[in-house]
Chains A and B, each alone.
Chain A
């Protein structure tokens, strides 16, 4: 099958959506499909052979933060050329509602279009205002995929219609077979994520940390991720600061080893998560997981069966749950075993098969994707519907 995938965010900036697209493309190529990914990228960035650059993304303020987006004539022309040259059986657009390549491709293409909605923003005024602009583009999408039941609910609420739920994929064995690092195990808590991004929840964990140390005196906290380390520990009493180890940005291999090594992986995120790929990775590595009870997290953790949940933003609840887990190796082993079984459904072999099933469903009896040419006026005026 010839598959075109549209990535809305810069290929050179690491991010969940980009990684998902990279893994999906590589998985499909391994299965023998022809895949081309259209993504914003600087001209100097080295790209894998299956990626086509759509030009540099421009930073603009959008939706409360500065986003790097592609728009304008040049990008639209590149999208059209890519569609024209590719002759794809199906195109798969990620984040079709973001004002970037996703929306441009939706405008420019016709034929079988699959779209994945990653984020689940609460209903915003901008979304309501943009509805008449988005609707003609979004109604071309033949199949919508939401990454979680939660994302599906918000999608249906905002745009109506329906979507199938296919979670993000993870290479489970990559994490399951990583070598544990002895330096990182033995009464350790792990945290991975941007240090200076409050939504990732490190401040909640820091607030809970003194109470955890009180109950488990030899506990250590390992933190991997970008950000200001001084500022992160500023709220801690000085004598506890040495118990927090910063590992900085870690490679994929080290991330897997870290998740394999820690006693408990903590995900204190306070919101804005529609899926929680890091939880799936932690479960794959067999870590006991303790996460805030966001809708998306509760779903990944099978409503608490595959990992412990605590009340969101409640440091006391986090501390109690963490101490209980640290003191109970049997419970950790139980969670780890259940998590490892549960996580198989997020493996690329399963997720990839589901995505292919969607492609096959929409291409059944449909023509290939083409650039959306103008239809002759007479046909358009509706005189020929029944002709």
Chain B
């Protein structure tokens, strides 16, 4: 082969190499994003389960009046048993139930006055504050992963493999004001 042909082949090889490294780096980025998303989803799941358990505890403790207890028990039970597709709705309903029951600042005081109520109120406050946190972190990861996955280089070279397209978790997670009194 003549020299110009070899030279051209070398250049093509170099170009392919550069593209390969770039794609490999992008795949690494994507992989990291998927890991981050999985961790964030697990963290949100843990916070939601934790919130439902604390609510169940409060509801069955007898510290609140029977009507409020029943409303909370029902909502927390439904949230815990919900199938994946119904979960966003069930968890939102639990948030609404909590807001309805603790709409009155006195209700928080009633809970705190019961034996062991101080600790329960604190746990409940921590749980209702952490759910929105965990959800924001998950949706932030989802947004970043989606932005990268929509990119041409990722679609053309199928860098995402068979990983499912990331879905955000949408729910009403507004905590009761008197329970978690601080800026959002």
Contacts of B162 in A (CB 8 A): 385-386
CB pair A167 B183 closer than 8 Å: yes
Given contacts A140-B36, A164-B132, A354-B182, contact A361 B29 (CB under 8 A): no
For chain A, what secondary structure do more than half of its interface residues adopt (helix, strand, loop), or is it mixed? mixed
Q: Which residue of B lies closest to A140 (CB)?
A: B32
Specify which of A136, A149, A361, A379 is in contact with B137 (CB 8 Å cutoff). Answer: A361
Cβ of B163 under 8 Å from chain A: yes
Q: How distant is the Cα of A361 from the Cα of B32 in the complex, in angstroms?
A: 18
CB pair B47 A361 closer than 8 Å: yes
Q: How distant is the Cα of A234 from the Cα of B121 in the complex, in angstroms?
A: 58
Given contacts A143-B137, A366-B39, contact A149 B27 (CB under 8 A): no
State the interface size on chain B (CB cutoff 8 A): 44
Given contacts A142-B40, A354-B182, A361-B47, contact A385 B34 (CB under 8 A): yes
Contacts of A360 in B (CB 8 A): 130
Q: How distant is the Cα of A110 from the Cα of B32 in the complex, in angstroms?
A: 8
CB pair B133 A357 closer than 8 Å: yes
CB pair A164 B136 closer than 8 Å: yes
Given contacts A149-B183, A162-B140, contact A142 B39 (CB under 8 A): yes
Specify which of A140, A164, A299 is in contact with B133 (CB 8 Å cutoff). Answer: A164
CB pair B183 A345 closer than 8 Å: yes
Residues of B130-165 whose CB lies within 8 A of A: 130, 132-134, 136-137, 139-141, 143-144, 147-148, 157-163
Nearest Cβ on chain A to B53's Cβ, whole angstroms: 15
Q: How distant is the Cα of A106 from the Cα of B182 in the complex, in angstroms?
A: 30
Specify which of B33, B42, B160, B182 is in contact with A350 (CB 8 Å cutoff). Answer: B182
Cβ of B126 under 8 Å from chain A: yes
Q: How distant is the Cα of A380 from the Cα of B39 in the complex, in angstroms?
A: 20
Cβ of B129 under 8 Å from chain A: yes
Write out, one digit per residue, whether chain A residues 44-69 have a CB within 8 A of any chain B CB (1) or not (0).
00000000000000000000000000
CB pair A381 B46 closer than 8 Å: no
CB pair B183 A382 closer than 8 Å: no
For chain B, what secondary structure do more than half of its interface residues adopt (helix, strand, loop), or is it mixed? helix
Interchain Cβ contacts within 8 Å, total number: 108
CB pair B132 A139 closer than 8 Å: no
Specify which of B25, B34, B134 is in contact with A361 (CB 8 Å cutoff). Answer: B134
Cβ of A362 under 8 Å from chain B: yes
CB pair B32 A142 closer than 8 Å: no
CB pair A139 B29 closer than 8 Å: yes
Q: Which residue of B lies closest to A353 (CB)?
A: B126
Q: How distant is the Cα of A360 from the Cα of B158 in the complex, in angstroms?
A: 34
Q: How distant is the Cα of A4 from the Cα of B184 in the complex, in angstroms?
A: 26
Q: How distant is the Cα of A87 from the Cα of B24 in the complex, in angstroms?
A: 27
Cβ of B101 under 8 Å from chain A: no
Contacts of B140 in A (CB 8 A): 143-144, 161-163
Write out, one digit per residue, whether chain A residues 346-387 have a CB within 8 A of any chain B CB (1) or not (0).
000010001001101110111000000001010111111110
CB pair A365 B43 closer than 8 Å: yes
Chain B CB count within 10 A is highest, among A361, A365, A386, for: A361
Q: Which residue of B lies closest to A375 (CB)?
A: B28
Contacts of A149 in B (CB 8 A): 183-184
CB pair A386 B163 closer than 8 Å: yes
CB pair B31 A380 closer than 8 Å: yes
Cβ of B63 under 8 Å from chain A: no
Cβ of B64 under 8 Å from chain A: no
Given contacts A365-B39, A380-B24, contact A357 B163 (CB under 8 A): no
CB pair A365 B29 closer than 8 Å: no
Contacts of A362 in B (CB 8 A): 39-40, 43, 137
Contacts of B84 in A (CB 8 A): none
Cβ of B23 under 8 Å from chain A: yes
Q: List 9 A-B contacts (CB under 8 A).
A: A139-B144, A140-B32, A142-B39, A143-B140, A161-B140, A161-B143, A361-B43, A375-B28, A385-B31
Interface residues of A (CB under 8 A from B): 110, 112, 136, 139-140, 142-144, 149, 160-165, 167, 299, 345, 350, 354, 357-358, 360-362, 364-366, 375, 377, 379-386
For the complex of A and B, list the 8 residue pairs with the smallest distance between their C-beta atoms, beginning with the closest.
Answer: A385-B161, A161-B140, A380-B24, A364-B43, A139-B144, A365-B42, A382-B27, A345-B182
